[in-house]
Amino acid sequence: MNYRQRRRLVVAAASVITFAIFALDLWSPLQGAVAVLYIIVILLVAQISTRRAVLLTGAGCGLLTMIAFAFDHMGDPFGSVTVRFGVSLVAISAATLLSMRDRSARTTLAEQARLLELSHDTVIIRDSNDDIIYWNEGAQALYGWSRDEALGRSCDGLLHSDFPVEEVRSALEQEGHWSGELTRARRDGTRIVLASRWLLRRDPEGNAIGVIESSADVTEQKRADAERQRSEQRYKSIFNGAAFAMWEADWTELHSHICNNVSPGVDLADWLVDHPETLRESLARVCVRDVNSAAISLFGAPAREALLGNSTLARVPPGSEAQFANLLAALIGGADMIEYEVRYVALSGRPVDALLRVRQLPGAEPWSRVLVMALDVTERNEARARLEKTSAELAHAARISTLGQLTASIAHEVNQPLSAIITYGKSAKRWLSRSEPDMVEAINCLDHIVSNGSRAADVITRARTLAKRGQVEMEKVDLGKLIVESLALIEREARQNRIVMRVTNSGEDVLVMGDRVQIQQVLVNLAINAIQAMRDVDDRPRELHIGFEVVADATVRVNVRDTGSGISGDPAQIFEPFVTTKREGMGMGLSICRTIIEAQAGRIYAVNNADHGATISFTLPVLAAEMRQ
Ligand code: ADP
C-alpha cells in the first residue's frame, strides 16, 4: 500500500471514529466520558498528516466535545459531568500538542534519514550484536547487497571486515568513536579499502547499544597513492644512483621574481641579458631541495648539505649569463624540457661546463619541483680545446711543410725548363754565329725557349696561386692533346737520350675535369723520370710509351711505360717524399705528382713491367657526357 492509499485509509478511519465518538458522546448515557476517545483520532491523524492538520483535528475534536456538552448538559449545575468535559478538553489539547511535537520530531528524523540515504558514503547502523539494523543506499551501491538482504545480518559475517579490532574496541570504549581504515569484501568477493568513522550508540542510561558507521571507498585513491609512492621511489633510486649529476630545486620564487620584474610581451631572454643583476637575483632565489652524489662531486661540495637550500644556479661565472637567460626564457616560455650547455663555478672555484637538461616534474605545484640533470662536459671541452690547439699547430706545421714542398716543387719543375732554355739558347747562338746563319734552326730554338719559358712561368704562377688560395683550377682538359703538348716540352731531352716516344689511345677524345698545368706537370715529371731510368740502357730499345684508356667508374687511366732499369725496392715507396736513387735527385717529384692527382680525385701507382722497366699509372675522373658541351 502506498502512502496516498494509506493516507486515504487513515482519513476514512479517523472520520468514522470521530463520527462514532460524537454519536456516543451525544446519545450515550456515559455523560462526557467518551470525548476522551478523540485522542485516538488525533493520534491517527498525526501518523499521516502535517502539524497543521493535527492542530485542526485537535480543534475539531474539541469543538465536537463542546457541541455534545452544550447539547446534553447546557444549564446543568457544575458537577462531575462538567469535570469530565473539562478533563476531555485538556486531554484533547494535550494529545494535540504532543502529537504536533512528535510530528515535528519525526519530520526532522525523516529528513535526517533521507540525508543518510542521499549520502554517497555508506551508512550502516548496527545493534549491540553487530547485526545490521540500518543500511543506506550508499552501502547498497558499494557492497552490492540490497537493504532487505543486509538487514538483520551480522555485519562482519556479511562483509568480512578486516580492521584493528583491539584499537577500535578501546577507542569506542574510551572516546565513543573511532576513525581509520579497514578492508571489506564486496558481494562479488573483491576487497575494498574504506576510510571509516564509527560512533558508539548509547541508550538513555548510557549503555552501548551498537555502532553507527559511515565509510567511504578509498581503494582507488589508495592504489593511486601507492602508485605515486612507487614512482617516487623509482625516481628516487634513479636520482640517487645516476652516474650524472641531478638536483631538484624549487623555482617558485625565481619564477615570481621574474614575473614581477619583467613586463609581459618583452623578449625575456634579451631582457635578462640586458639586466644581468635581475638574472642573478632571480637565480639566487632557486632553492635546491635534493642533490645526488654525482652533483656533489660536480660542484666539488664537501657534503650534500653544502648544496641543499642554496642556489646552485646562482653560481654563474661572468660571461655565461646569456646561456642562463636563454634557458630560463625557454622554460618560462612553456618549453617542456630544455637542454643547454652552461658554465658553473664549483664551490672550489673551478669552472665546470655542464650540459643541462631541465624540466618541471609533473604532478607538483608549478615551479615547485624542477629537475636538473647535468652532464659534466668539462673534460670533453678541455679535450676539444686541446684537439683544436693541436689541429691548429698541425695545420701550421702542414703549411710550413707545404711551403717547403712548394719550394722544392718550384725548384724541381723550373729546373728542367731552365736547363732546356739554356741549351736551346746556346744552340740558337751557335746557329746564328755560323758563317751562314741557319735562321730556321735558330727560330726553332727560339720557339723552344719561348715554350719552355712559358712552362716555367706557368709553374710559378700556379705555385703562387696554390700558395695564395690552396685551390686547384678546374677546367675541361682534352687529355690526348695535353699529352702531345707535354711530350713536345721534353722532345729535346728524349732526342738527346735516343728515346723513342709513342702515344697511344683508344681512339676517342677523352675530356677530364682538372687543372691543366698540374696534369701537365705530372706528365712531364713521369716522362722525365722514365727518360732518366732509360739513360743507361744499351741492350734494348729505349722506349717511352704513353697510353690512356677509359676504364670502369668513368675514369681514365694514363700509363707511362718505359723500358728502363725498373724500380728497385717497393714501387709504392717511390711516392714518398725525399725517396730518391739519383745523385742529384730531390725525391719530391712523385710525391708532388701524388698530391696533384689525389687532389683531382685520382690515384697514382707504379709497377715494374714483366720484361723491362716500369709503368707509372694515374687515373682521373672522365668528364660526364652532359658536361662535355
Ligand atoms: P727524383 O726524380 O728527384 O729522384 P722522384 O720522386 O721523381 O724524385 O722519383 C723518386 C725515385 O723513384 C727516383 O729516384 C727513382 O729511383 C724512382 N723512379 C721514378 N720513376 C721511375 C722509373 N720510371 N723507373 C725506375 N725508377 C723510377
569 Cα to the center of ligand 1, angstroms = 11
Best of 525, 543, 590 for a ligand 1 pocket test (most atoms within 8 Å of beta carbon) = 590
Distance of alpha carbon 227 from the chain centroid: 22
Look at ligand 1, atom 27, and give the residue with the nearest C-alpha: 567
Check residues 471 and 301 and name the one with the higher pLDDT.
301
Domain boundaries, the chain: 3-116, 119-217, 243-374, 382-467, 475-627
Predicted confidence at residue 323, as pLDDT, reads: 84
Does the pLDDT of residue 556 top 90, yes or no?
Answer: yes
CB-CB contact of 507 with 619 (8 Å)? no
Distance of alpha carbon 286 from the chain centroid: 23
Distance, in Å, from the CA atom of 489 to the CA atom of 447, rounded to the nearest integer, reads: 11
Q: In percent, how much of the chain has pLDDT > 70?
A: 92
Shortest-distance atom of ligand 1 to CA 585: 3
User: What region, left, alpha or beta, does residue 530 occupy, with left being phi > 0 and alpha being psi -120 to 50 degrees?
Assistant: alpha
CB-CB contact of 522 with 616 (8 Å)? no
User: Could you tell me the pLDDT band of residue 399, with boundaries at 50, 70 and 90?
Assistant: very low
> Mean pLDDT, to the nearest integer, of 313-331?
80
* Residue 376: closest CA among 305, 300, 462: 300
Q: How many C-beta atoms surround the C-beta of residue 546 within 10 A?
A: 23
Largest CA distance in the chain: 201
> Mean pLDDT, to the nearest integer, of 32-59?
86
428 Cα to the center of ligand 1, angstroms = 31
402 Cα to the center of ligand 1, angstroms = 20
Per the structure block, which three cell numbers stand in for 557?
Answer: 687511366
CA distances from 423 to 427, 430, 437, 443, 504 (A): 6, 11, 18, 14, 29
Per-residue pLDDT reduced to its tens digit, 84-96: 888 889 999 999 9
> Mean pLDDT, to the nearest integer, of 154-177?
93
609 Cα to the center of ligand 1, angstroms = 15
Look at ligand 1, atom 12, and give the residue with the nearest C-alpha: 574
Predicted confidence at residue 570, as pLDDT, reads: 92
CA distances from 103 to 6, 107, 203 (A): 17, 6, 22
516 Cα to the center of ligand 1, angstroms = 23
Best of 528, 536, 574, 609 for a ligand 1 pocket test (most atoms within 8 Å of beta carbon) = 574
Q: Helix, strand, coil: what percent of the chain each, to 5?
A: 55, 20, 25
Cα–Cα–Cα angle for 47, 53, 56, rounded to 5 degrees: 125
Predicted confidence at residue 149, as pLDDT, reads: 93
| Average pLDDT value for the chain | 86
CB-CB contact of 248 with 289 (8 Å)? yes
> Mean pLDDT, to the nearest integer, of 12-30?
86
Best of 497, 501, 528, 529 for a ligand 1 pocket test (most atoms within 8 Å of beta carbon) = 529
CATH topology of domain 243-374: Beta-Lactamase (3.30.450)
CB-CB contact of 527 with 487 (8 Å)? yes
458 Cα to the center of ligand 1, angstroms = 23
Predicted confidence at residue 463, as pLDDT, reads: 66
592 Cα to the center of ligand 1, angstroms = 12
Shortest-distance atom of ligand 1 to CA 588: 6
Does the pLDDT of residue 471 top 70, yes or no?
Answer: no
563 Cα to the center of ligand 1, angstroms = 14
* β-pair partners for 605: 617
Check residues 586 and 452 and name the one with the higher pLDDT.
452
Q: In percent, how much of the chain has pLDDT > 90?
A: 38
> Mean pLDDT, to the nearest integer, of 268-277?
88
Per-residue pLDDT reduced to its tens digit, 206-264: 888 899 999 999 999 999 999 989 988 988 888 888 888 999 999 999 899 998 988 88
> Mean pLDDT, to the nearest integer, of 342-364?
85
Best of 537, 580, 594 for a ligand 1 pocket test (most atoms within 8 Å of beta carbon) = 580
Predicted confidence at residue 504, as pLDDT, reads: 87
Distance, in Å, from the CA atom of 325 to the CA atom of 273, rounded to the nearest integer, reads: 6
529 Cα to the center of ligand 1, angstroms = 6
Predicted confidence at residue 34, as pLDDT, reads: 82
Shortest-distance atom of ligand 1 to CA 591: 6
CB-CB contact of 259 with 251 (8 Å)? no
Question: What backbone torsions phi and psi does residue 311 show, to the nearest 5 degrees?
Answer: -100, 100
Predicted confidence at residue 467, as pLDDT, reads: 53
606 Cα to the center of ligand 1, angstroms = 10
CATH of 119-217 among 1.10.3210.10, 3.40.30.10, 3.30.750.210, 3.30.450.20: 3.30.450.20
Shortest-distance atom of ligand 1 to CA 592: 6
Write out 502-566 in H/E/C secondary structure: EEEECCCCCEEEECHHHHHHHHHHHHHHHHHHHCCCCCCCCEEEEEEEEECCCEEEEEEEECCCC
Shortest-distance atom of ligand 1 to CA 590: 6
* β-pair partners for 182: 194
Rg, C-alpha atoms of the chain: 58
Per-residue pLDDT reduced to its tens digit, 586-600: 777 888 889 889 888
Pocket (CB within 6 angstroms of ligand 1): 529-530, 533, 562, 564-567, 574, 579-582, 585-591, 614, 616
Predicted confidence at residue 257, as pLDDT, reads: 92
pTM exceeds 0.75 for this model: no
CA distances from 60 to 57, 66, 373 (A): 5, 10, 88
Per-residue pLDDT reduced to its tens digit, 107-135: 777 777 777 777 788 999 999 899 999 99
Predicted confidence at residue 469, as pLDDT, reads: 44
Per the structure block, which three cell numbers stand in for 158?
Answer: 556479511
**382-467 maps to which CATH number?**
1.20.120
CATH topology of domain 475-627: Heat Shock Protein 90 (3.30.565)
Predicted confidence at residue 389, as pLDDT, reads: 67
Look at ligand 1, atom 9, and give the residue with the nearest C-alpha: 587
574 Cα to the center of ligand 1, angstroms = 6
Question: What backbone torsions phi and psi does residue 266 show, to the nearest 5 degrees?
Answer: -80, 160
579 Cα to the center of ligand 1, angstroms = 8
User: Could you tell me the pLDDT band of residue 529, with boundaries at 50, 70 and 90?
Assistant: very high
* β-pair partners for 550: 556
Same CATH topology for 243-374 and 382-467: the answer is: no
Does the pLDDT of residue 398 top 60, yes or no?
Answer: no
Q: Which amino acid is at 442?
A: A
Predicted confidence at residue 58, as pLDDT, reads: 93
